[in-house]
């Protein structure tokens, strides 16, 4: 199961309308089952949505209710819901592991400490090179060292652009061929990142998706080499994006109504 964060269905189903060349993703539409959309969970953001994808239940049940825990005083220093122990419902890898199946994961949200056989976690703290040491320490013992001997350095968790995804895709393909998991979850972040910066349907967003499409083709080729035709790939996403040209600041209206008072207004 490969998640492309921020992938709207019409990027694939109406690719020609958006001047997109995504032949690998379109193969899934023409040769497999697909949906024009799904009902998103609330809140429809990355960590709750990805946890619903692997548990099948809503954030109210699985407990991952935002990307980051409520921390109004900043005591958690910008921490996110990284830890699998916060998930209150069984995940796919829990069920698969109990059935004796080999599980693997690369950069999937909320997997630090998860019951995954071969796990490269998503984690960062200082947004600096030392985060790579944290990723190595929190992933399956020795796994990152083994993969990096073949592939070079793994991108640290705070890098979300297409260059980082290009590196991650090589590790996904490596995992498929070297570890041959029955279940693999993998996450690609750059489409979401680009849309946040430049909006949906922008030129750079389209170029990013076209490069991701090529990466999906490489991953599929790795699965062909590892399993022949005896595998299933699911392309999923957590949410889409829409364009917006105005903002609403509710606190301004509340202030004008005399319902809140700014700090500098207090005596």
Domain span holding position 120: 2-70+77-244
Query: For residue 157, what pLDDT is reported?
Result: 85
Residue 266 lies in a domain: no
Residue 264 lies in a domain: no
Query: For residue 9, what pLDDT is reported?
Result: 95
Residue 96 lies in a domain: yes
Residue 130 lies in a domain: yes
Residue with tokens 């070297």: 178
Please write the tens of the pLDDT for every residue from 151-170.
999 998 899 999 999 999 99
Residue 159 lies in a domain: yes
Torsion sign, CA atoms 135, 141, 143, 149: positive
Domain count of the chain?
A: 1
Residue 265 lies in a domain: no
Q: What's the CATH code of the domain at 145?
A: 3.40.720.10
Phi, then psi, of 65 in degrees rounded to 5: -100, 0
Low-confidence ranges of the chain (pLDDT < 70): 265-267
pTM of the predicted model as reported, rounded to 2 decimal places: 0.93
Concatenated DSSP letters for 134-195? HHHHHSSTTHHHHHHHHH-PPPPTT--SHHHHHHHHHHHHHHHHHH--SEEEEEE-HHHHHH
Please write the tens of the pLDDT for every residue from 186-223.
999 999 999 999 999 999 999 999 999 999 999 999 99
Query: For residue 265, what pLDDT is reported?
Result: 56
Residue 55 lies in a domain: yes
CA-to-CA distance for 56 and 37, rounded, in angstroms? 16
Residue with tokens 């170029």: 207
Residue 254 lies in a domain: no
């Amino acid at each position: 199961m490969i998640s492309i964060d921020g992938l709207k269905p019409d990027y694939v189903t109406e690719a020609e309308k958006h001047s997109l060349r995504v032949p690998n993703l379109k193969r899934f539409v023409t040769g497999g089952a697909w949906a024009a959309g799904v009902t998103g969970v609330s809140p429809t953001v990355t960590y709750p949505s990805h946890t619903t994808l692997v548990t099948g239940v809503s954030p109210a049940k699985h407990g991952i209710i935002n990307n980051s825990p409520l921390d109004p005083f900043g005591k958690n220093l910008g921490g996110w819901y990284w830890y699998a122990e916060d998930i209150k419902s069984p995940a796919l890898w829990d069920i698969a592991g109990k059935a004796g199946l080999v599980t693997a994961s690369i950069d999937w949200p909320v997997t630090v400490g998860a019951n995954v056989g071969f796990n490269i976690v998503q984690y960062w703290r200082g947004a600096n090179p030392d985060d790579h040491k944290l990723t190595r320490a929190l992933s399956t013992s020795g796994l990152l060292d083994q993969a990096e001997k073949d592939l070079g350095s793994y991108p640290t968790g705070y890098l979300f652009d297409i260059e980082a995804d290009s590196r991650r895709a090589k590790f996904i393909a490596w995992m498929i061929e070297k570890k041959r998991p029955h279940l693999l979850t993998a996450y690609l972040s750059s489409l979401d990142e680009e849309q946040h910066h430049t909006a949906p349907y922008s030129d750079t967003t389209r170029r990013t998706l076209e490069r991701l499409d090529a990466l999906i083709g490489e991953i599929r080729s790795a699965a062909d080499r590892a399993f022949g035709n005896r595998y299933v790939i699911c392309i999923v996403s957590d949410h889409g994006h829409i364009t917006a040209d105005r903002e609403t600041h509710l606190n301004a209206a509340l202030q004008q109504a005399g319902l809140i008072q700014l700090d500098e207004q207090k005596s």
